[in-house]
Structure 1
Amino acid sequence: MKVLAGYLAGLLFGLGLAISGMTDPARVIGFLDVAGSWDPTLIFVLGGAVVTTFSGYRLVWRRPAPLLETRFQLPTRRDLDVRLLGGAAFFGIGWGLSGYCPGPAVASLPGLSWPLLMFLVAMMSGWWLARRGE
Structure 2
Amino acid sequence: MKSITVTDKLLGQIHYMAEREGGDWSMMYFSDHELSYIIKGTASAYLTHGDKTRENYEVPFFTVDKNQTDSVIIPLQRSSLRFLEAFSQWMKIRDPEIVQRCEMFSAEDCSPVDQVINFHGQLTNYDELTP
TM-score, length-scaled by structure 2: 0.25
The structure with the greater share of residues assigned to helix is: 1
Which structure carries more relative contact order (alpha carbon 8 Å, separation 6+)? 1
TM-score, length-scaled by structure 1: 0.25
The structure with the greater share of residues assigned to strand is: 2
